[in-house]
Structure formats: C-alpha cells, structure tokens
Chains A and B, each alone.
Chain A
Amino acid sequence: MRNLLRFFVRFSSWILFLIYVVASCWLLFTKNPYQHHVYLTSAGTLGKAVYGAANTVTSYFYLREINEDLQLRNATLEVEILKLKDQIAQYKLQEYSDTMRIDTALSRYSFALAHVINNSINRPNNYITIDKGSLDGIEPEMGVVDQNGVVGIVNVVGSHSARIISLLNPYLRISCKIKGQDVVGSLVWDGKNPSEAVLEELPRHAEFNLGDTVITSGYSTVFPEGVPVGIVVEHIAEHEENFRTLRVRLNTDFSTLSTVRVVIDDMRKELETVEDDSKTTPKNNMPNQ
C-alpha cells in the first residue's frame, strides 16, 4: 500500500500529464458538433461578452462592402417588385382576383436579425457566433442566411448568443438543386477554399450549364425553397458513375459576414409531428404476433 502511494507521488506529474492528454483527446474526438456543450463553445456567457465587445469595433470595417451588397440586392428586388406589379395589373384585368386565395406557405417563415460576433474561415471546422439566443426565439437546427445567400445552421444556443455551424464546415450538408430543375443534390464544403463548395450526389440525368444558379431545395424545415447558394463553376470528374459532382462558387462572402437572418419556420413543429406520425403509424397497425 505504501509502495503504491510512493509510486503515485513519484510519478504524479506523469500521471497528471496522461490525465490531461486523455481529457484533451476525449474533447478533440467528440467531433460531432451537436454533442458539444454550450459552456465549452463560444456561445457561452464569457465568449459572448468578449466577442460582443470586440465586435463593436470590428463591425465597422466591412460596412462599405455590405452596403454595396445591399444596394445590389435592393436593385434586383426593385426590378422584381416592378415585374410583380405588372403581373398583378394583368391578373386584375383578367378578373382573376375573386378566385385567388392566400397561400399559407408564404406566411410560413419569419426572420430574426442577428449580428455576427465571431467567425472563422480558415480552420477545417468553422463556426460562427451570433448575438441572439434562446430568449430571441432561436433554437438549434434553424437555418441562417444573409443578404447574399445561405450561411449555416444554428447548433448550440445560449440565452443571449448562439453558435452556428458555418457552411464552411464538413459536418454541414445542405439539400440543394439547380434553379429551374427538380433534381436534388447535397452541398458540402471540401476544406479547400472558403469561397467554394461542392454539390454532390446530383443524379446523372441532371442537366446544367456553367454559371447556373444553385438554390436550396426546401425539402427540410431549415431553409425555405429557393434561397440562393452559389453559381456552378466547374464539373468535377466523378468517382461514382450514377452521380454528378459540381464545384459551386458561394454567393455569401464569409470573410465579411456581419448581419445575418435566422430563419424561423412556424410550421416546423407541425411538420415534425406529421413526420413522426408517419413513422409510428405502421407500427401501431402491425397485427399482434
């Protein structure tokens, strides 16, 4: 017994070293970002305080570029409004209005504005921290967009801050399609360039041209259909014969990210219950054996 104690005292620093290395490795290899705890991420109270303070200074740096993006977006929206006004005028002429009904899907989404207080683009797994949390109605697995396109998905939520898995993180796969077509692929980052990602698992029969716009598919409750993601720039030679792989230049400039919108889907709970029911019903109908 005494020898054992002496052994522990003598090698205490080695034992401590091993304990710390094992603890670090355990943290390191719990790679799935959904298993991270809020206190060990930048969405914790301390992280929010420090990054919030730093952001009050740095948020001014990119105002010019953001302003230009907003002007552009504004211009395209104005053109769209003019087009829509024309359409409405035509419909009125056709006396279509009395048969038209309000589409419930249009009022399905609302947005929460948030400021980016921390962001990385050059690591293998990138995360973004924003200054809104559960008290502002943010929940895990909500989509995040900015004025140009998709940004990421909410992952860990604190009361006043939240961590987002950036699109520049291989753990994020977003269901996307090429505008004007119904075939769906999955968009994932390949770790090489923060302005490009890869659209995989696109069926072989999908037709595309370089320069086509890639948009979200709307097949989940995370993003509405049709949020712009990027532009097809290259067809990569595929390993599998049944699928195509395309390189996509992302619309979102992750290096100047500042204000983002969190997509709140009012139908999410409803859809989740419906999808759960469809899973459980067949079991209930099974004959007793």
Chain B
Amino acid sequence: MTRTALSFIFLSIALILAQVTVFNHVSLFGVAVPFIFIYMICSLPMTLNQNWVLTIGFLLGLTIDIFSDTQGLNSLGCTVISGIRHNVLRLYFPREEDMTNPRPSIRVLGLGVYIRYEFTLSLVYSAVVFIADSFTFFDPLRLLLGIVSSTLLTTALLIALDYLITKSEKRL
C-alpha cells in the first residue's frame, strides 16, 4: 500500500514536470495540446473512495494551473473527469469484479476497452478545457479542431505511457 502510494506520488511529480516544461509548449498544428497528466486520474485504483479521487484530481489540476497561468481551467477539467471516470469504466467494462487489479491498465482491461476508456476521458477533458477557455475568443471551427486533435493526441500518448509503465513494472 505504502509502495503504491509512493510510486503514485513520484509518477505524479514526473508527469506534472513533463507537462509544464515540455507538453504545454507542444502545440501540433497550432491547436493540439497533449494533456498527459490526466493519466494519474485515469489510473487511480477503482476501489479508492470517490472523495479521495475528487480531491486528488482537483489538486492535480490546480498544480498544473499554477504552473501554466490558467486559473481554474485544468482544475475544472480534472474535477469533471474524476467525477465521471467510474461511470465511464462501467459503461465499457460492466463486470467490475472481474478486474484482477483495481488499477485500470491495458493488462487488466484489454487494449480495446482501455482505448475507449482513455478516449472518452480525454474527449471530456479537452472539451471542458477548450470550451471554458474559448470564452475569450469564440471561434467554433478552431474550438472543434482543438478538441478533436487534442483528444486524439492525448489518447495516443496515454496508451503509450501505459505501455511504458506496465513494462517497467514487470521488470521490477
């Protein structure tokens, strides 16, 4: 338990640093921003109390906000996906008691279900962030393009990240 918590904290710090120093400055085609740190919310154990999930999600978003000068934007997105993630997983994987490990990953859920789960959460996250941000300049085409491209980019990176982390865990 302590070991899981520690590795969670280290991974969070690593992903936050990677997000604010590298991925925030990636903007493919001028619009697509990858949000890799939501991996932490997606992969919290399903057995964890919902109140903890919400609190961790909100604080994670707030940390990203502080670094990228986007007050409340990422914390709103993180709170929303923390709130819906359990229901999203139930939608694609109804037999929750079949999970060999409460932490959602490709190994536990299978690639198909995992991709759908990550895609949905990325889509909701990108939609919340881009819509809340577009109150400054409203441009429907750019908004749509931003949501779709960021979702695809984020999903691809989350799958790659899960492969990497699962692999390194096997080696240990």
Min C-beta distance of A61 to chain B, whole Å: 11
Contact of A25 with B137 at beta-carbon distance under 8 Å, contacts A13-B54, A16-B55, A20-B54 already known:
no
- Binary per-residue interface labels of chain B (70-83) against chain A in the complex, 1 for a CB within 8 Å, 0 otherwise: 11110110011011
Q: Is the CB of A47 within 8 A of B50?
A: no
Q: Is the CB of B72 within 8 A of A26?
A: yes
Count of A-B contacts judged by CB separation below 8 Å: 100
Min C-beta distance of B6 to chain A, whole Å: 21
> Measured between alpha carbons, how far is A248 from B168 in the docked complex, in Å?
52
> Measured between alpha carbons, how far is A19 from B132 in the docked complex, in Å?
18
Q: Count the A residues whose beta carbon is within 8 Å of the partner chain — how many?
A: 39
Measured between beta carbons, the chain A residues less than 8 angstroms from B76 are: 21, 24-25, 28
Interface membership of B69, Cβ < 8 A: yes
> Measured between alpha carbons, how far is A186 from B81 in the docked complex, in Å?
41
Measured between beta carbons, the chain A residues less than 8 angstroms from B71 are: 27-28, 30, 36, 40-41
Interface membership of A223, Cβ < 8 A: no
Q: Which of B57, B58, B66, B139 contacts A44 (CB 8 A)?
A: B66
- Binary per-residue interface labels of chain A (206-248) against chain B in the complex, 1 for a CB within 8 Å, 0 otherwise: 0000000000000000000000000000000000000000000
Contact of A170 with B79 at beta-carbon distance under 8 Å, contacts A24-B72, A120-B24 already known:
no
Q: Which residues of A contact B (CB under 8 A)?
A: 12-13, 16-17, 20-21, 23-31, 36, 39-42, 44, 46-47, 50-51, 54, 118, 120, 122-125, 127, 129, 163, 170, 190-192
**25 CB < 8 A contacts A-B:** A16-B51, A16-B55, A17-B83, A20-B58, A21-B80, A24-B73, A24-B75, A24-B76, A25-B76, A40-B71, A41-B66, A42-B67, A46-B67, A47-B66, A50-B21, A50-B67, A51-B21, A118-B67, A122-B33, A123-B70, A123-B133, A124-B134, A125-B136, A163-B69, A170-B137
